[in-house]
Amino acid sequence: MNLEARWPEIFEGMTSRQIHTVSEIVASSWHEGREPEREHTARLAARVRGDLSKAEYRRLEGLPPTNT
């Protein structure tokens, strides 16, 4: 699964390490049965880049807030 080729605009300006991090997280979800979705991948990339706080990422993903 080459997410960078599939949605290159999501990964613009990211380092190879950041791209690898996003790809690994999405691959892990894929192995658990979740199909890669553009919006989820874009939010995850924004989180890895530091454009979204942990709390904002969790809110956008519909996850409960954490205390950390």
- The pLDDT score that the predictor gives to residue 68 is 61
Scored b (16 or more CB within 10 A) or e, 10-23 reads: bbeebeeeebebbb
Q: Quick check: is 67 in a domain?
A: no
Which stretches of the chain drop beneath a pLDDT of 50?
Answer: none
Q: Could you give the C-alpha distances from 63 to 3, 42, 55, 57, 58, in angstroms and in order?
A: 23, 16, 9, 8, 5
Q: Are 22 and 44 in contact (CB under 8 A)?
A: yes
pLDDT at 56: 95
68 in a domain, yes or no? no
Residue 25 lies in a domain: yes
Q: Is residue 35 part of a domain?
A: yes
CA–CA gap between residue 12 and residue 29 (Å, rounded): 22
Domain count, the chain: 1
Q: Which domain holds residue 49?
A: 3-60
pTM: 0.85
